[in-house]
Amino acid sequence: MPSTPEDSLQQGLRNRRQVLGADWVAQSVDNANSLNVEFQRMITRYAWDGIWSRPGLERRTRRIMVLAITASMGRWEEFELHIRTGLLADPADPDAAALDLPTIQEVLLQTAVYAGVPAGNTGMAVVMKVLRELDRLPPKVDFFAPAAGSAP
């Protein structure tokens, strides 16, 4: 762990850039004002350094947890942010915490069971919106065709 508040702020900014992308973080920093600057500094130190720097979980696992928790709580703006930045992240960089569609599907299936079908349904709608915006819609399938791996 960094030893000073300034070290923690800088490490938090590095983590934030790796996970959310430099453009998103630059936008947040550029939008700092006398009302929100201390909040931005606090979440950068506390969440993005204090939590995201911890060795106990890989960053991808942390992002998956963020998705499940934000969907469960109906925090759709944060859910969408992590969907978008996870899909755009470099899969070869483990610090970027990239996401793929099978992982997102599993997160939403489990969220629907434990947090309710409306949370899973809204989560799926948000994911589809982001995929549409990124021009990465998944291929259509026949609803009535047997699922892959299912028994005949």
**Domain 58-137 listed as CATH 1.20.1290:** yes
Residue 103: pLDDT band with limits 50, 70, 90 = very high
Stated as kind and residue range, the H or E segment containing 89 is: none
Angle at CA of residue 86, ends 58 and 121, nearest 5°:
110
Helices 5-20 and 59-73: crossing angle, nearest 10°? 80
Residue 150: pLDDT band with limits 50, 70, 90 = low
Six-digit token string for 136: 């990465």
Question: What tens digit of pLDDT does each residue of 104-137 get?
Answer: 999 999 999 999 999 999 999 999 999 999 999 9
Q: Domain ranges in the chain?
A: 1-56, 58-137
Q: How far apart are CA 42 and CA 48, in angstroms?
A: 9
